[in-house]
């Protein structure tokens, strides 16, 4: 009989870069021509946001934010090492990386034998199209072309797909990338942070794509992309809004079916839900300035009390209205650990670092 370890974490890109650049995505939001002029003056910000910004434009807050994230990642990694899984299944999203206009499946399991990532090959999101940032580098001082290699677990992935299909889920699968040779950033960031101290990552992985963003993919025929507040390509949107991704209920039900599949397997499998929660750049109700911290606090209370099943009742309008698009990855995990209280959890709300972060061990 298989065993399950549940882990929740983030793949927040800001941890890649030196602390002085962590708040620069917010600066880009403020520089956007679509920003509300009143938001450019900190006097109009919420008090907690002004406090984080401080006198050094978020530098001190960035150091504290990083310290908390790194501590949490080390704790997650310690639990993983203690469990010694046969493989690690990661629920993650794709942001116009592997899935584009030709196909955007609701779910897709990668059955590759080996996966390669080059996480430092692209400039950070806030620096794209901004040559004045120059070579920012990364906090590990590693080369831009450095490659990380990971083993897959095709046997476990195939078993899971078959069991989910038997349970009524029509799951896509792929043996190689479509538009991208390397893993999407949700997976590669997760793996990089789990090896923050560079001890190596010995466990085979099964990346499990969840479509969190299809409604925000730009079907322009001009290179497309994800519709963010900072993305001026949104001006060329089609009049027809793209279809929705999977509902919270479907994600939760999939997680429950996955748990049954793992229990029927011969493997010890760690299941990860990887994402931040509310994103400022997706939260229209706050003019894309800061995350929906209040809504995330509600979710966190439900998490620590073992009431994650309530997440399955969220409507898409509520989820996406709070900028919680990527929470689908955590909702899949919630189905796996339904009814359990985490033995460790930590919540990191923030106004200026784009997204609230949460960590949990079940």
Mean pLDDT of 195-214: 96
Q: What is the mean pLDDT of the chain?
A: 93
pLDDT at 14 over 90: yes
Q: Determine the Cα–Cα distance for residues 282 and 292; give it in Å rounded to an integer.
A: 10
Where do the DSSP E strands lie in the chain? 3-9, 87-92, 107-110, 114-117, 148-151, 172-174, 205-210, 268-274, 344-348, 357-361
pLDDT of residue 240: 79
φ, ψ for residue 20 (rounded to 5)?
-65, -10
Q: Where are the domains of the chain?
A: 3-361
Instruction: Encode pLDDT of 208-231 as tens digits.
Output: 999 999 888 877 666 678 888 876
pLDDT at 149 over 80: yes
Instruction: Encode pLDDT of 17-51 as tens digits.
Output: 999 989 888 888 898 888 899 999 999 999 999 99
Residues in the chain: 362
Instruction: Decide: 148 and 119 in contact? Cβ < 8 Å.
Output: yes
pLDDT of residue 220: 67
pLDDT of residue 225: 82
Of 92, 97, 107, which is closest to residue 191 (Cα–Cα)?
A: 92
Identify the weakest region by mean pLDDT among 68-72, 180-184, 232-236, 260-264: 232-236
pLDDT of residue 110: 97
pLDDT at 130 over 80: no
Instruction: Encode pLDDT of 82-96 as tens digits.
Output: 999 999 999 999 999
pLDDT of residue 140: 96
Q: Determine the Cα–Cα distance for residues 260 and 166; give it in Å rounded to an integer.
A: 11
Give 123's pLDDT tier (boundaries 50, 70, 90): confident
Give 137's pLDDT tier (boundaries 50, 70, 90): confident
- Classify the C-alpha dihedral 319-324-325-330 as positive or negative: negative
Q: Determine the Cα–Cα distance for residues 145 and 228; give it in Å rounded to an integer.
A: 27
In words, the CATH class of domain 3-361 is alpha beta
Percentages helix, strand, coil for the chain, rounded to the nearest 5? 40, 15, 45
Mean pLDDT of 164-177: 96
Mean pLDDT of 291-318: 97
Mean pLDDT of 302-315: 97
pLDDT of residue 75: 98
Please tell me the pTM assigned to this model.
Answer: 0.95
Location of structure tokens 């003056």: 41
Q: Determine the Cα–Cα distance for residues 352 and 54; give it in Å rounded to an integer.
A: 11
Of 282, 267, 273, which is closest to residue 332 (Cα–Cα)?
A: 273
């Amino acid at each position: 009989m298989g065993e399950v370890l549940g882990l929740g974490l983030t793949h927040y890109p800001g941890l890649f870069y030196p602390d002085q650049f962590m708040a620069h995505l917010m600066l880009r939001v403020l520089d956007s021509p679509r920003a509300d002029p009143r938001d450019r003056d900190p006097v109009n910000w919420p008090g907690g946001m002004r406090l984080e910004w401080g006198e050094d434009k978020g530098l001190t807050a960035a150091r504290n934010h990083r310290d908390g994230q790194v501590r949490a990642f080390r704790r997650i990694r310690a639990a993983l090492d203690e469990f010694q899984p046969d493989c690690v299944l990661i629920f993650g999203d794709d942001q116009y990386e592997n899935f584009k206009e030709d196909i955007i499946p609701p779910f897709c399991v990668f059955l590759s034998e080996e996966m390669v990532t080059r996480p430092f090959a692209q400039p950070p999101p806030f620096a794209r199209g901004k040559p004045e940032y120059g070579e920012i580098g990364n906090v590990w001082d590693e080369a831009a072309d450095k490659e990380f290699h990971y083993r897959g677990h095709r046997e476990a992935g195939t078993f899971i797909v078959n069991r989910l299909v038997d349970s009524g889920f029509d799951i896509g699968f792929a043996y190689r990338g479509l538009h991208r040779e390397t893993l999407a950033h949700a997976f590669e960031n997760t793996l990089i942070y789990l090896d923050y101290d560079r001890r190596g990552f010995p466990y085979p992985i099964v990346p499990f794509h969840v479509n969190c963003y299809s409604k925000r993919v730009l079907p322009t025929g001009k290179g497309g992309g994800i519709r963010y507040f900072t993305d001026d390509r949104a001006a060329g949107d089609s009049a027809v809004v793209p279809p929705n991704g999977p509902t919270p209920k479907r994600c939760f039900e999939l997680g429950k079916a996955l748990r049954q599949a793992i229990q029927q397997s011969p493997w010890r499998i760690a299941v990860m839900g990887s994402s931040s929660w509310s994103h400022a750049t997706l939260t229209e109700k706050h003019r894309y300035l800061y995350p929906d911290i209040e809504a995330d606090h509600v979710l966190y209370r439900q998490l620590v009390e073992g009431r994650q099943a309530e997440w399955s009742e969220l409507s898409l309008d509520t989820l996406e209205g709070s900028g919680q698009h990527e929470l689908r990855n955590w909702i899949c995990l919630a189905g796996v650990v339904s009814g359990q209280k985490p033995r460790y959890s930590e919540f990191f709300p923030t106004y200026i670092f784009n997204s609230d972060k949460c960590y949990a061990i079940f």
